[in-house]
Amino acid sequence: PLPIVAIVGRPNVGKSTLANRLAGVQEAIVYDEPGVTRDRTYMPAYWCDREFLVVDTGGLVFDDDTEFLPLIRQQVMVALSEASAVLFVVDGQTGPLPADEEVAAWLRQQSLPVLLAVNKCESPEQGLMQAAQFWELGLGEPYAVSGIHGNGTGDLLDQLIAHL
Ligand code: GDP
Ligand code: MG
């Protein structure tokens, strides 16, 4: 089976935009799975001869006993259960928020590789400053990217495949 990269993060940080960008906006494959009320979409992605699946966890809602958990925690649990690596997306325009710290705390306790994408960094100069704010999450180097414009995604993909 192909390695799975799970994309997690607060609503509106640009997870879906970035997922589509990384996958080159190819047709999404939809799987029906028991216990998940919404279909989960896995998008095939290719980079430097490596193939993997990107899963945008943003729309997941569960039927089982994880139902009581906040959405963001459900996303993290999905990521931990099936992914080879996690792409944690944050918003460079808002800077780190308490919800980001909460997710980071969960992710730091796991052994999965985590890459930190600081999205909405359209300007290369500002992007460096915006990304630097996220060192405090304790997840290593923050990568400045723009899902909309595509800048920074090559470096991010290089790092991603190195961890698969
Ligand atoms: P999600 O809720 O995390 O999946 O976020 P979406 O991908 O739906 O995007 C949320 C909002 O952020 C939308 O209005 C997008 O147009 C915007 N957005 C997404 N990526 C970028 C980006 O790279 N730069 C900017 N400036 N806005 C973005
Ligand atoms: Mg989304």
Tell me which DSSP letter residue 9 carries.
Answer: -
pLDDT band at 55 (very low <50, low <70, confident <90, very high): confident
- Asked if pLDDT for residue 30 goes beyond 70, the answer is no
126 lines ligand 1 (CB under 6 A): no
**What is the whole-number distance in angstroms between the Cα of residue 43 and the centre of ligand 2?**
14
| Probe target for ligand 1 pocket from 8, 10, 12, 71, with the most ligand atoms within 8 Å of CB | 12
pLDDT, mean over the chain: 85
Give the pairing type, strands 50-56 and 4-8: parallel
Nearest CA to ligand 1 atom 15: 14
Nearest CA to ligand 1 atom 20: 14
Residue 12 marked as a ligand binder: yes
Report the helix count and the strand count for the chain, using DSSP H and E.
Answer: 5, 7
159 lines ligand 1 (CB under 6 A): no
Region for 152 from its dihedrals, namely left if φ exceeds 0, alpha if ψ lies in -120 to 50, beta otherwise: left
More confident residue, 118 or 98: 118
Q: Report the DSSP beta bridge partners of residue 56.
A: 7
Q: What is the pLDDT of residues 118-156, one digit of tens each?
A: 999 999 899 999 999 999 999 999 999 999 999 999 999
Domain boundaries, the chain: 4-162
Residue 156 marked as a ligand binder: no
Q: Which of 33-37, 92-96, 154-158 has the lowest mean pLDDT?
A: 33-37
Q: Is 83 exposed, middle or buried (0-12, 13-18, 19+ CB in 10 A)?
A: buried
21 lines ligand 1 (CB under 6 A): no
**What is the whole-number distance in angstroms between the Cα of residue 45 and the centre of ligand 2?**
18
Q: What would the CATH number be for the domain defined by 4-162? A: 3.40.50.300
Residue 67 marked as a ligand binder: no
58 lines ligand 1 (CB under 6 A): yes
**What is the whole-number distance in angstroms between the Cα of residue 53 and the centre of ligand 1?**
20
DSSP H stretches of helix in the chain: 15-22, 71-82, 98-108, 124-132, 153-162
pLDDT band at 59 (very low <50, low <70, confident <90, very high): low
